[in-house]
Amino acid sequence: MIVVTGGAGFIGSVILHQLNQAGEDKILVVDHLDTSEKWKNLRGKRFVDYLDRKSFLDLINRNALPKLNAIVHFGACSATTERDADYLMENNYHYSKTLAEWSLANGVRMIYASSAATYGDGKQGFSDDPTRLADLRPLNIYGYSKHIFDLWAQRSGALNQMVGLKFFNVFGPNEYHKEEMSSVVCKAFHQLKETARIRLFKSYRKDFADGEQMRDFVYVKDCAKLTQWLLENRSAVGLLNLGSGRSRSWKDLAQAVFAAMGKPANIEYVEMPAEMRDRYQYRTEATLERLRALGYTQPFLSLEESVADYVKNYLAKDDPYI
């Protein structure tokens, strides 16, 4: 049996779909549905059972779980704007540490979600070289809550037996419950439908023109394919970047949305909230050398291919879920 924490969430539910497509349905989904709409992400998926995250943690603490093949731990608070440090440390650090310790003690493969937010402003680059991990300086408490678990996993030797994935800017179907934290592609689609324009943040650095701030955008389907590969290739371990390996501008992304929707380009640049300006990353780009060295050879879809698939096959549909 495979456990997928965050299995009703954005990336987790697409991984469920990927596993189901590969014939795997012996899956335990762990999440916290609360009053959100993410329960819709579970429709059409095949799995053995669902547990709330607290119930699952109780089973872990009592060592009362059935035999597991792997834990895909993608459940976390992923809001980069969350300011409650204690909440983030409990959900993103302590919870992950408990699962990791149990996995190591029981010889269970664990794949967990880290984040490119751990790289901070990018001045030190975006290399996943383990010798540089301790030097990173995240810009917000979300990034730090991920970074401190990465550090623990390295110091404890856990990374010699498990995999951490530093997700860059992931977008795609099933992110709709994230609302304000949903991708710019999702927001741009609705803005364009409603206002005939797409709004992007202005730049506050002279070396970046408005709209030329850059990100490594990666499609959620590519993330799911890699996760499946890691489940099948258990010798692959360590802390790895998960991005496309190519940095693109927000203007490029907007142009891809205009093209996918068959609409003329019309971009409005708006002020960035003041509280975000000193914690904003102006460029990210994943280095993929270590991932490729482990044997993962599949190409990542281009930004234009990914946006076109997302817009035409999901966002434009009455039922946009995968």
Which whole-number Å values give the CA distances from 33 to 23, 106, 112, 239, 298, in the listed order? Answer: 26, 28, 20, 29, 33
From the list 93, 112, 119, 142, the catalytic residue is 142
27-31 and 2-5 beta bridge pairing: parallel
| Number of neighbours of residue 111 by Cβ within 10 angstroms | 24
Q: Tell me, letter by letter, the H, E, C secondary structure of 36-79.
A: CCHHHHHCCCCCCEEEEHHHHHHHHHCCCCCCCCEEEECCCCCC
From the list 40, 178, 187, 202, the catalytic residue is 178
Active site residue 142: yes
For residues 275 and 100, give the distance between their C-alpha atoms in angstroms, rounded to a whole number.
34
Half-sphere exposure of 102 (CA within 13 A, CB side): 23
Which ranges of the chain would DSSP assign to H, the alpha helix? 10-21, 53-61, 85-88, 95-106, 141-155, 184-195, 220-232, 250-261, 289-293, 303-310
For residues 259 and 284, give the distance between their C-alpha atoms in angstroms, rounded to a whole number.
24
Which whole-number Å values give the CA distances from 260 to 40, 215, 263, 288, in the listed order? Answer: 25, 20, 8, 28
CB 18 within 8 A of CB 227: yes
State the distance between the two ends of the chain, measured CA to CA, in whole angstroms.
23
Q: What is the SS3 assignment for 308? A: helix
For residues 322 and 317, give the distance between their C-alpha atoms in angstroms, rounded to a whole number.
11
Catalytic site residues?
142, 178
